[in-house]
Structure 1
Amino acid sequence: MHNFIFRWITKLRQNYWFWPSVMTVCAVLLGFVLPYLDARVGSDWIREAGFVRTIEVDGARAILTTLATATLGVAGVAFSVTIVAVSFASSNYGPRLIGNFMADRKNQVILGIFVATFVYCITVLTTVHASTETPGTTLDAFVPHLSLYFALLLTLAAVGALIAYIHHIPESINIMNLTAEIGAKLQSSVIRMLDEEDSRMRDTPDAHHMDVEAWFEEPQADDAHVVRAEVTGFVQKFDLENLAALALKNGIQIVLHRSPGDFVVMGETVLSTRPARSGAGAIDRQMRDCFTQGDNRTDAQDILFLSDQLVEVLGRALSPGINDPRTAMLCLDWLRAGLVAFAARPPSQPAKSDDPVLYRRVAFEDMLNRSFAEMRQCVATNRTVTLQAMDVLTDIAQASFQEPMARACVQQICQLAGSAMELLDESVAREEIATELKRALQAVAAGGAHCRDPIADHAAPD
């Protein structure tokens, strides 16, 4: 059940049709309920209210038809603009960022207003009828005035939504807003992850362990029961609370051999239990329900997915076809925000050998080395971005809580400087890199004695 619920919640977040569909169903219901209330209330209130004029059948039909046609046309234009924006973002920022646009709640609600207004007008239009006489039956003319005025209110809402949509679309593809959204999410995810790890250390029951990494230990055939993937796809989430409860209840230890974000082929090992028991297969289905696989990576527990997105935008910005170093520098700034939040806190405690669930916690060095190792070759070809990256690494090192964190930053500074010295052709640029390297190492050393040892291990490139 957990697997099913999480998979559908993830799909609903990234599906463009969910909120428009919900609003359309509500519009259909209102299209029948309001005319029913009109019929019960009658039209006497119109004569008592002097500022409201009675609308005839032909006029009501003309109003509803015009409103429905106009809103449907605007909905088509809005959909086309959305496709253009998604196409632009995919080609310039990377296809992995399409999910950010598809999950944009504002776009979904605005499109839902247009479609719901159209459907409501059509539904109310079916209730408008002129007086007719059939053998034995006389049907009086019916114009649902309350429903008509509500249709006008919906149209005004659609006009406001159109104005908001015209303002929102350029904002959503603005690279500054896009990187700010990803960077802020990365920073908040890091802080939440570390807070939840602190809660776990205090034995609070509501810790959710977002920092999940694989436990790099192969299961032994003679003492482990292996749980293999039934489908092919990305691991998206582990339900660690239920896994721990299963382990304690059955007297076993569960080992996670994969982490969120890993691509697993059907038949590969995901979990294992030890020691192996004759009844271990009985809880096999329960353990399978404690992890979710899907076609896409998500940021639910895969915190490195957010840093990977910033690195992808940075790499595309520095590609020859785009050549936008300012965007690359913007990505570095927001990556620094997440890494500083990580470096300024004590690292996660390693798993104990007797823990019910064994998995490795994501470390600061994991995010730092993964991000800068992937971007190094791109950054080192640009003098300006290289200097910015070295400055960012210096700031992170100075904010580091422990010596290994600062040492990892110094190592990345020296590797980046070495790559830049090899790839940059201009002698002046190489001299600037060497000067910045010396300054960065001195700045890190001045921040505390714990940074002096790693500095001594690295020499500036010739």
Structure 2
Amino acid sequence: MRTLFIESALALRQSYWFWPSVLTALALVAGFTLPIVDVRLGTGWMDAVGFLRPMQVDGARGILTTLASAVLGVAGVSFSITMVAVTFASGNYGPRLIGNFMRDRTNQVVLGIFLATFVYCIAVLSTIHAESGVDDDIIAAFVPQISILVAMMLTLASVGALIVYIHHVPESINIMNLVAKIGAELEAAVVATALAQAKRDEDAAEPDIAPWHTHSAAIGDSAASIASGRTGYIQWVDLDTLTAKAREAKGQVVLVRTPGDFVVEGETIMTARPASHFDEACREALGRAVTFGTNRTELQDVLFLSDELVEVLERALSPGVNDPNTAMLCLDWLRAGLSAFARQGETADVSPLSAVLYTRVSFETMLARSLSQMRQYIAADRNVTVHAIAMLADLADDVHGAKRLQAIDHEAETLAMSAQERLDESAARQDVETALANYRARRERRLAGITAPTTP
């Protein structure tokens, strides 16, 4: 049930129709409910308001028809602008960034306000009727005065939403804002991942699976394989459920696939050992603890966000774009995420006696994965190479631990060597050599405990 809820939440989060549908449904309910209030109150309350006069049938119909037509037209134009922005972002920044625009709450709410106003006006319009007679019965004219005032207020809200929308669309496709948003999400995801790992380590301080390790009859027992029930990307793994089931069976679950991996139906995603401790029902429950989807998400896949920055950088340095400033911007925000990793301390491996064994993303993993994908693009540009080496020097100042510093040293040396091979101008190669020398000097000063300002 929890996995189904997570899967539904992910689908709603990436859908563009959820908030417009909710606001439209509310407007429909209000459009048929407020006229009932008008029937109860009548028009006597308007006598106390000097500037209000009861509206007649023709005037009310004209106003509501005009408002509905105008708002629907603006909604169509706004939707077209959104599609243009999405197409532009997909072509220039990468197709994987479409999800950022689809999840944009401002666009969804603005479109929802337009559609809700249109539906409300149509609903109220259907309740207005002139005086008529059927046989000897006379049906009095009815104009819902309060409902019409609410329609006017909704129209004013639509005008405000249009102003917000016009301001928001260019802001959302501004590459500086887009990269900054991804970088901020990367920082937040790194911190959340570290806190979740710390909590799990605290909860697993006293492992509950020691019995099967020491039980002589279970030591040689084989492991049971749990296969994927779907084809797609692993989006979320319910570690709490896996832990509970493993402890209940006095066994251990080993994840051989992690969030972000693509699996095919029938492929092994985890094993449970010893096999004799896990019956068929338990194995099915373990399989249901994994959520699949058609794309990667940042929910448990922190590398997805760093990969997005890599994709933007690669496109920025492609021959058709050639935008080194955007590439340097991506490097700065990547450093923000890596620095957040560094501030969380060393990433501890899962204890071998834990109920669930899985691979954790470390600082070294994110650094090596990002730089290895970027290197061939960065090394071909003198400015970006020099900036990347300076970025690594800044990162080294924030990092503690010999293993992490060695990883940064390796990336700086490898990038400089690659640039020496790819750059044609001798002056550019000399600049890279100077940047590497500055990097080494900063590292030596840090080892000596000396803090000095960086060279612009």
TM-score normalised by structure 2 residue count: 0.93
Asked whether the equivalents of residues 250 and 277 of structure 2 are also in contact (C-alpha less than 8 Å), the reply is no
Look up the match of 1:157.
157
Give runs of aligned pairs for residues 375-454 of structure 1, distance below 5 A: 375-448=374-447
Give runs of aligned pairs for residues 186-335 of structure 1, distance below 5 A: 186-203=186-203, 223-277=222-276, 279-335=278-334
Q: What's the CA shift for 1:184?
A: 0.6
The number of aligned residues is 436
Asked whether the equivalents of residues 2 and 289 of structure 1 are also in contact (C-alpha less than 8 Å), the reply is no
Asked whether the equivalents of residues 345 and 401 of structure 1 are also in contact (C-alpha less than 8 Å), the reply is no
* 1:51 maps to amino acid: F
C-alpha separation between the residues in 1 aligned to 2:67 and 2:4?
41
SS at 2:344 equivalent: coil
C-alpha separation between the residues in 2 aligned to 1:48 and 1:393?
71
C-alpha separation between the residues in 2 aligned to 1:45 and 1:281?
69
Look up the match of 2:43.
43
Look up the match of 2:81.
81
Asked whether the equivalents of residues 221 and 273 of structure 2 are also in contact (C-alpha less than 8 Å), the reply is no
Look up the match of 1:454.
none
Residues 105 and 78 of structure 1: CA distance in aligned 2, closer, same or farther (over 3 Å): same
SS at 1:227 equivalent: strand
Look up the match of 2:120.
120
Q: What's the CA shift for 1:246?
A: 0.5
- Return 64-73 or 43-52, whichever deviates more: 43-52
Q: What's the CA shift for 1:400?
A: 1.2
Give runs of aligned pairs for residues 108-187 of structure 1, distance below 5 A: 108-187=108-187
- Percentage identity across aligned positions? 52
* 1:171 maps to amino acid: E
C-alpha separation between the residues in 1 aligned to 2:33 and 2:204?
49
Q: What's the CA shift for 1:279?
A: 4.8
Q: What's the CA shift for 1:188?
A: 1.4
Q: What's the CA shift for 1:258?
A: 0.3
Q: What's the CA shift for 1:204?
A: 8.5
Look up the match of 1:209.
none
SS at 1:277 equivalent: helix
Deviations, residues 193-223 of structure 1 (Å, cap 9, x unaligned): 2223233333399xxxxxxxxxxxxxx9960
Q: What's the CA shift for 1:422?
A: 0.5
Asked whether the equivalents of residues 3 and 288 of structure 2 are also in contact (C-alpha less than 8 Å), the reply is yes
C-alpha separation between the residues in 2 aligned to 1:5 and 1:406?
41
Q: What's the CA shift for 1:398?
A: 2.0
SS at 2:133 equivalent: strand
Deviations, residues 173-201 of structure 1 (Å, cap 9, x unaligned): 00110011000111111122222323333
Q: What's the CA shift for 1:47?
A: 3.1
C-alpha separation between the residues in 1 aligned to 2:198 and 2:230?
34
Asked whether the equivalents of residues 221 and 276 of structure 2 are also in contact (C-alpha less than 8 Å), the reply is no
Q: What's the CA shift for 1:445?
A: 2.4
Asked whether the equivalents of residues 272 and 278 of structure 2 are also in contact (C-alpha less than 8 Å), the reply is no
SS at 1:10 equivalent: helix
* 2:26 maps to amino acid: C
Unaligned runs of 5+ in 1: 206-219, 451-462
Q: What's the CA shift for 1:135?
A: 1.1
Residues 406 and 278 of structure 1: CA distance in aligned 2, closer, same or farther (over 3 Å): closer
- Return 189-198 or 304-313, whichever deviates more: 189-198
C-alpha separation between the residues in 1 aligned to 2:448 and 2:81?
56
* 2:252 maps to amino acid: Q
Q: What's the CA shift for 1:441?
A: 1.5
- Return 72-81 or 354-363, whichever deviates more: 354-363
Asked whether the equivalents of residues 260 and 297 of structure 2 are also in contact (C-alpha less than 8 Å), the reply is yes
Look up the match of 1:367.
366
C-alpha separation between the residues in 1 aligned to 2:325 and 2:40?
64
Q: What's the CA shift for 1:242?
A: 1.2
Asked whether the equivalents of residues 379 and 386 of structure 1 are also in contact (C-alpha less than 8 Å), the reply is yes
Residues 137 and 80 of structure 1: CA distance in aligned 2, closer, same or farther (over 3 Å): same
Look up the match of 2:212.
none
Asked whether the equivalents of residues 225 and 280 of structure 1 are also in contact (C-alpha less than 8 Å), the reply is no
Deviations, residues 309-350 of structure 1 (Å, cap 9, x unaligned): 001000000011111100000000000001111123321221
* 1:418 maps to amino acid: M
* 2:74 maps to amino acid: V
SS at 1:133 equivalent: strand
C-alpha separation between the residues in 2 aligned to 1:47 and 1:436?
80
* 1:17 maps to amino acid: W
SS at 1:273 equivalent: strand
* 1:430 maps to amino acid: R
Asked whether the equivalents of residues 260 and 301 of structure 2 are also in contact (C-alpha less than 8 Å), the reply is yes
Unaligned runs of 5+ in 2: 206-218, 450-456
Look up the match of 1:24.
24
Look up the match of 2:211.
none
Asked whether the equivalents of residues 398 and 406 of structure 1 are also in contact (C-alpha less than 8 Å), the reply is no
* 2:274 maps to amino acid: P
SS at 2:276 equivalent: coil
Does residue 58 in structure 1 map to residue 58 in structure 2? Answer: yes
- Return 397-406 or 365-374, whichever deviates more: 397-406
* 1:198 maps to amino acid: A
Q: What's the CA shift for 1:7?
A: 0.9
C-alpha separation between the residues in 1 aligned to 2:287 and 2:448?
48
C-alpha separation between the residues in 1 aligned to 2:136 and 2:289?
67
C-alpha separation between the residues in 1 aligned to 2:48 and 2:132?
27
SS at 2:301 equivalent: coil
Q: State the superposition RMSD in angstroms.
A: 1.6
* 2:68 maps to amino acid: A
Q: What's the CA shift for 1:426?
A: 0.3
SS at 1:130 equivalent: coil
Residues 362 and 279 of structure 1: CA distance in aligned 2, closer, same or farther (over 3 Å): closer
C-alpha separation between the residues in 1 aligned to 2:7 and 2:96?
18
C-alpha separation between the residues in 2 aligned to 1:198 and 1:29?
47
- Return 16-25 or 272-281, whichever deviates more: 272-281
C-alpha separation between the residues in 1 aligned to 2:199 and 2:278?
33
C-alpha separation between the residues in 2 aligned to 1:197 and 1:293?
22
